[in-house]
């Protein structure tokens, strides 16, 4: 099947107790750096299995289509796809949010919030026994994060256009699309592009239920690895890198099945099978849309005065409620 088109590399290996786990990097499509690319990331938090499942479901569907879908083959001649479906296998194996060192990989990048952050949740250096631990000040990033950064820096950032989508779960009743910043209340320069992308999605799939917002609209954090990579990308003004987080609203699954509250995985994952498949299918639509949007980015990315007007509208929408 389509596996012949898939290149697999071990981006790093991690230990948890006496077990060793590989962190895989899977690529498809044309490696030419002049072409756009999309990266799909998941399993940064070991308890949020659904993110990894959504990505594997989508990848499986792509590989199956590679056997017969000519249009998909043509598309992959014009773009690059990167998957890291399970960045924290040690955490998933031991059923913890953090990695085996007790570090929350989403609080671990060398970046400090410039606004106040919620106690503990915003990231702290008190103890690895508490959730949201950042790691030791001044230490290198954890090996999982170093691998993630290497993949983004080599596969996405050198291109004139790329999107990263990182799949999480566990926050709120609704499915959200979060974008930078997490470390600051200041709007990013790419708000216009994100507003346009949202419009494009709503026009293509009316009644879709994602709530788009900057992460800081909910809470600010220290050490967000996507902010860290976004700021690196900003050094090259000729390229656009949009890191998006898909935050699946798991509280709805709990509401429909309150027994989930008593399971450690229940707060983060759909436990009923028909709901699991519905969740995987629904988010596949979003991932597939993003892949197409990346391939045709020059057809919709706003430019010139239109872009300036959209940036103003976006600031009014997200920063001046």
Question: Shortest approach of Zn ion to residue 99 CB, angstroms?
Answer: 12
Would you say 253 and 275 are in contact if contact means Cβ atoms under 8 Å apart? yes
Bridge-based pairing of strands 161-169 and 19-29 is: unpaired
User: Which CB sits closer to Zn ion, 168 or 222?
Assistant: 168
User: Which CB sits closer to Zn ion, 48 or 198?
Assistant: 48
User: Which CB sits closer to Zn ion, 66 or 106?
Assistant: 106
Q: Does 168 bind Zn ion (CB under 5 A)?
A: yes
User: Which CB sits closer to Zn ion, 45 or 176?
Assistant: 45
Q: Does 107 bind Zn ion (CB under 5 A)?
A: no
Distance of CA 64 to the CA centre of its chain: 23
Q: Does 80 bind Zn ion (CB under 5 A)?
A: no
User: Which CB sits closer to Zn ion, 169 or 190?
Assistant: 169
Piece in contact with Zn ion (CB under 5 A), picked from 6-14, 22-30, 161-169, 173-181 = 161-169
Site string (22-51) toward Zn ion, x via CB under 5 A: -----------------------x--x---
CA distances from 260 to 54, 56, 97, 168 (A): 20, 23, 17, 18
Strand order in the sheet with 7-16: 7-16, 19-29, 80-84, 37-42, 161-169, 240-248, 176-179, 211-214
206/222 Cα distance (integer angstroms): 35
Question: Shortest approach of Zn ion to residue 215 CB, angstroms?
Answer: 12
Question: Shortest approach of Zn ion to residue 45 CB, angstroms?
Answer: 4
282/286 Cα distance (integer angstroms): 7
Residues binding Zn ion (CB under 5 A) = 45, 48, 168
């Amino acid at each position: 099947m389509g596996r012949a088109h898939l290149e697999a590399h071990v981006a790093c290996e991690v230990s948890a107790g006496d077990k060793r786990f590989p962190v895989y990097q899977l690529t498809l499509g044309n490696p030419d750096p002049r072409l756009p690319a999309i990266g799909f990331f998941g399993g940064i938090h070991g308890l949020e299995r659904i993110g990894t499942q959504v990505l594997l479901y989508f990848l499986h569907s792509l590989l199956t289509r590679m056997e017969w879908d000519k249009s998909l083959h043509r598309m992959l001649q014009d773009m690059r796809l990167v998957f890291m479906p399970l960045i924290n296998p040690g955490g998933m194996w031991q059923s913890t949010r953090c990695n085996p060192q007790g570090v929350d990989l989403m609080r671990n990048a060398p970046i400090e919030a410039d606004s106040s952050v919620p106690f503990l949740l915003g990231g702290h250096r008190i103890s690895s026994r508490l959730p949201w631990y950042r790691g030791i000040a001044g230490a290198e990033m954890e090996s999982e994060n170093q691998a993630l950064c290497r993949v983004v820096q080599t596969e996405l950032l050198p291109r004139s256009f790329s999107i990263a989508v990182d799949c999480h779960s566990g926050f709120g009743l609704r499915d959200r699309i979060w974008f930078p910043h997490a470390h600051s209340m200041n709007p990013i320069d790419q708000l216009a592009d994100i507003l346009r992308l949202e419009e494009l999605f709503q026009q293509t799939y009316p009644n879709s239920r994602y709530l788009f917002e900057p992460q800081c609209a909910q809470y600010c954090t220290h050490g967000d690895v996507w902010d860290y990579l976004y700021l690196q990308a900003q050094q090259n003004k000729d390229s656009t890198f949009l890191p998006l987080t898909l935050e699946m609203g798991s509280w709805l699954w709990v509401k429909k099945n309150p027994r989930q509250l008593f399971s450690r995985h229940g707060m983060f994952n759909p436990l009923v099978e028909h709901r699991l498949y519905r969740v995987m299918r629904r988010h596949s639509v979003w991932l597939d849309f993003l892949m197409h949007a990346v391939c045709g980015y020059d057809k919709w990315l706003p430019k010139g005065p239109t872009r300036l007007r959209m940036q103003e509208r976006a600031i009014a929408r997200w920063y001046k409620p």
